[in-house]
Structure 1
């Protein structure tokens, strides 16, 4: 029998119809956001300037935030579970950070000079992350990864880098499963291995031998759906890199929030270099790369032939001032552990809700970050989602918005410190309602 003659699963047509209805309801409730997007399309390709914020029919435009809440241009309010993709850890109105930024502005914005705060912030980072003996600042996590790999290549005298399918290390290092290499990726010779395949990754590192300058890995893949690495996998990378002389780089741009010393401390595996970004400057632009003293010495201007590292805003006074308060006064060990525990409890609660309804929806993650997958768990490696899975994900996003929950379009949640137990309960209730209402179009567990 031809596939065209096969009976069609009615769930597919029902899912498509539900999605059309959800899109129409979304659009009807947000005329001002639609108008903002239409005007922006005249002068900006796609109507925006940050790919992760683009979605159809148009993105919701936000106009205000306070604590853990945001308001859109049409007057609707939401509990913010997006958390600016982990950068918004402190919420929208933490007065200690706002006071630090205002004080810095009062003393001049662009001074074209070093300042005392950059040394203070560097000391805070070095004191809490096991791998970091010295550190330098950038403007974003993307830049941090660029400079870390440049440093590793300069230090080893080698050229190639091993990354993992499904990994994301910034706009110029993106490796989604099943997608050809992005034309915006930097032209660095890359090798690839499968995430969480300890044996295969170790073999790939050893086969590369003297050609391999660095291995870069997220201790939890964020963009791929909050998929944690196993300790066995990270240990295998550590041992193979030690054996071959390749520099092991942990991209903790997102995951450094998962403990006082990041996931490297929680997992008990120490890389040679670590990259940072997101929340560390209290919501201001920020990135950093650091590691062993001998590797970081490649950037020591006191040494002849030091590698250059430019960036007008690397040590901008706003980020440096906010970062000293964010890491030095607010996000201490107790706060990090409490946030981690809250996220773990939330993940357990939403997975229990999905299980009660017998649907193939499963949340993965570590600590305060989690993402839904519209297939049975456990999910331990990145994958290329089916069309139906992507439709379910989009439907989930629209339903959560309708329930007053703002999260990433891909479904990712990043908890903010101001999020309360009541907010988490509201999130669980919204997931439960989604599973109940959409059960006819969701796959069975």
Structure 2
């Protein structure tokens, strides 16, 4: 049952959807939504506390944690997730972009069921990985060879190692706020989990002069520039095309490789976001939705670079991975590309997501609430502020307001993550779009004036 269906039950906290005077300050507002959340989810709280006995902080994947405690999910189907207390949510978190096809796409599930009849782990090369790689190469202009891995993080690590080997150089230029995996987390540049910290130089996203300064100082030692064409985790900052074009020319000038992290942005077009803007990298990393819902990573690029990863090359770089060509992932990914991630569906998703984007902006503008929506197409990052941020340093929406927004949406049957991004899947329905827009209306009516302090 959904939270909204349970509002009349005895003993329930006053729901956030009921009409009552809005709280006068952000602390009171958050306290109210948190009380509703806590009273509605006792089983998730209990499971979270029990999980701490075996999982550090009750958690295995840090990006899914939020306070006061995260929901525990029991099941998911199509565009819905069900938590441990039996609440059903319209899912606009969608596994941090990985669930592009929803949670149970029929074509992918059918392919997996058929594949299971032939075994789960072959331990050898097979036709499914060849077919999957051919399909990726067909779609991406910049990719001639594909190397499969188990995550986007691993793909980015391999891309960096390959670039260093190809150039004989030791430095990587990246960007503050970039996220390329838990060990390449430049949202937190000083994190001790980050690898090769001494070999990384960080510039400001969309500020080419900061790149050029680093290049003037250390260009002869730079092996690669690694960039998300649209910063995802940091807040949906879209790279200006002129910025990416200049990165392309800088790499050509200094003999470095340009690496596009398209783990998230590949969802915007059959050939990735690079095909939308017409700027093409030397190496591309992929992950998340490309596995059809299973663990996946891939590195692709020109044959002259990629072939060094293959046995028999005169300067071979040793590379392997037990589950890199797992047959079920290869089957699911190939089925997803051939049967689901097709032009008609991608166009429909982008179009419907843009309609949602317009509707949210219209609702905020009508009420005089400052709102900027970052990213592109089916990823919609919310920033409650007057100016569109170009990079992390421009974000003014405080963390406490993001907490308020997330808890309110969850309390109203819409699941989103703490970062405040609406991640639209191909499974989301018209009823769910309407429910989201209506919940957004209620949020603006109740709490919109609280943005006055940081307009």
Q: Same fold (TM over 0.5)?
A: yes
Matched, 1:397 2:406: yes
Q: 1:371 aligns with which of 378, 381, 394?
A: 381
Give, in whole Å, the separation in 2 of the partners of 1:24 and 1:402. Answer: 10
Give, in whole Å, the separation in 2 of the partners of 1:205 and 1:425. Answer: 49
Structure 2: gaps of 5 or more residues: 1-21
Distance 1:300 1:206, change over 3 A: farther
Give, in whole Å, the separation in 1 of the partners of 2:38 and 2:26. Answer: 18
Structure 1 contact 362–375 (Cα < 8 Å) conserved: yes
Q: CA deviation at 1:208?
A: 2.4
Matched, 1:347 2:357: yes
Q: Which residue of 2 aligns with 1:44?
A: 55
What per-residue deviation string (whole Å, max 9, x for no partner) do you get for residues 51-71 of structure 1?
A: 011111110111111111111
Q: Which residue of 1 aligns with 2:415?
A: 406
Matched, 1:171 2:182: yes
Give, in whole Å, the separation in 1 of the partners of 2:24 and 2:431. Answer: 36
Q: Which residue of 1 aligns with 2:439?
A: 430
Matches within 5 A, 1:121-270: 121-176=132-187, 179-188=188-197, 189-270=199-280
User: Secondary structure in 2 aligned to 1:93?
Assistant: coil
Q: CA deviation at 1:358?
A: 1.3
Give, in whole Å, the separation in 1 of the partners of 2:23 and 2:73. Answer: 33
Q: CA deviation at 1:13?
A: 7.2
Structure 1 contact 259–340 (Cα < 8 Å) conserved: no
Moved >6 Å (runs of 4+): none
What per-residue deviation string (whole Å, max 9, x for no partner) do you get for residues 104-159 of structure 1?
A: 22111122111110010001111111211111011000000000111111111111
Structure 1 contact 80–405 (Cα < 8 Å) conserved: yes
Q: Which residue of 2 aligns with 1:32?
A: 43
What per-residue deviation string (whole Å, max 9, x for no partner) do you get for residues 71-120 of structure 1?
A: 11111111110111111011111111111112222111122111110010
Matched, 1:88 2:107: no
Give, in whole Å, the separation in 1 of the partners of 2:222 and 2:294. Answer: 35
Number of aligned residues = 432
Structure 2 contact 176–189 (Cα < 8 Å) conserved: no
What per-residue deviation string (whole Å, max 9, x for no partner) do you get for residues 149-197 of structure 1?
A: 1111111111100000110000100112xx5511000115011111011
Distance 1:36 1:395, change over 3 A: same
Matched, 1:19 2:35: no
Structure 1: gaps of 5 or more residues: 1-10
Give, in whole Å, the separation in 2 of the partners of 1:221 and 1:366. Answer: 10
Give, in whole Å, the separation in 1 of the partners of 2:212 and 2:115. Answer: 47
Q: CA deviation at 1:305?
A: 3.4
TM-score of the two chains, using structure 1 as the length reference? 0.94
User: Secondary structure in 1 aligned to 2:196?
Assistant: coil
User: Secondary structure in 2 aligned to 1:63?
Assistant: strand
User: Secondary structure in 1 aligned to 2:443?
Assistant: helix
Structure 2 contact 389–395 (Cα < 8 Å) conserved: no
